[in-house]
């Protein structure tokens, strides 16, 4: 699904991956958030309706994301004018897809924006416990079920599923965002630290008191609107927009 804001630069594209553990969700559930981001940046957003697990388990979604990116290149969109962006499991794909593209020898996107990324298939983050009482959306049994359905027997340490095990060197600049009250906070904090260690330009933003993918409240909460505006301020120069 294309989200095309009035007056945007059609040569700049946000390749958006929706969340839902790669088990639920669709381009329809996330088009509002993708549209707000596209409008703020001044670009089009392509929201990928990738196939879901368990019928299509890992790594199906990584391959589909790489194929969608290469389709954009085939349409004449330059790699330096594309950013990968997504929330939760889509935040995972936001990083995993460029990793796959690097393996394939394909020119990488200009930037990555993982929002509340869900990265650790072993569920070892401290915030799974410390933020259990403040997270209104995520809980450990839910995460365990999603891991099982997504991996379908694949290793929880596979670097294309668990980005904490990936070689991150050479990846594009990244803007990592998470809510301070969410159980997956540590996934974002840890990947940002690993990116920095690998020499990747990275910004980590944690919004105090906010929930998992708090950007969903765009248009209704000042914290979300401010976060999206800040993402756009960071991302526009990466895409060559003034």
Strands 43-48 and 2-3: antiparallel
Task: Select which of 36, 207, 212, 215 is catalytic.
Answer: 212
How many Cα atoms sit within 13 Å of 193 on the Cβ side? Answer: 8
Residue of 64, 182, 207, 215 with catalytic role: 182
* Catalytic residue check, 212: yes
Distance CA 124, CA 157 (A): 12
**Helical H runs in the chain?**
31-41, 60-74, 89-104, 127-130, 140-151, 185-197, 222-238
For residue 183, report the phi and psi dihedrals to the nearest 5 degrees: -70, -25
Q: Are strands 174-179 and 111-115 parallel, antiparallel or unpaired?
A: parallel
Q: Which of 88, 116, 127, 224 is catalytic?
A: 88
Catalytic residues: 88, 182, 212
């Amino acid at each position: 699904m294309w989200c095309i804001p009035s007056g945007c630069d059609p040569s700049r594209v946000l390749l958006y991956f929706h969340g839902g553990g790669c088990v639920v969700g669709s381009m329809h559930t996330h088009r509002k958030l993708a549209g707000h981001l596209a409008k703020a940046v001044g670009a089009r957003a392509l929201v990928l309706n990738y196939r879901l697990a368990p019928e299509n388990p890992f790594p199906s979604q990584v391959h589909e994301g790489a194929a969608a990116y290469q389709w954009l290149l085939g349409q004449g969109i330059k790699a330096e004018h594309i950013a990968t962006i997504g929330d939760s499991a889509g935040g995972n794909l936001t990083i995993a897809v460029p990793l796959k593209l690097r393996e394939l020898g394909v020119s990488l996107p200009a930037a990555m924006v993982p929002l509340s990324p869900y990265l650790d298939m072993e569920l070892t983050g401290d915030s799974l416990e410390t933020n259990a009482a403040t997270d209104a959306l995520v809980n450990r049994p839910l995460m365990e079920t999603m891991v099982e359905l997504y991996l379908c027997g694949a290793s929880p340490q596979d670097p294309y599923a668990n980005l904490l095990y990936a070689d991150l060197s050479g990846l594009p600049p990244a803007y990592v965002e998470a809510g301070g009250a969410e159980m997956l906070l540590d996934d974002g904090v840890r990947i940002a630290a690993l990116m920095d260690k690998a020499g990747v330009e990275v910004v980590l933003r944690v919004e105090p008191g906010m929930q998992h993918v708090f950007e969903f409240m765009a248009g209704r909460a000042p914290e979300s609107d401010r976060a999206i505006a800040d993402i756009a301020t960071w991302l526009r120069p990466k895409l060559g927009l003034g």
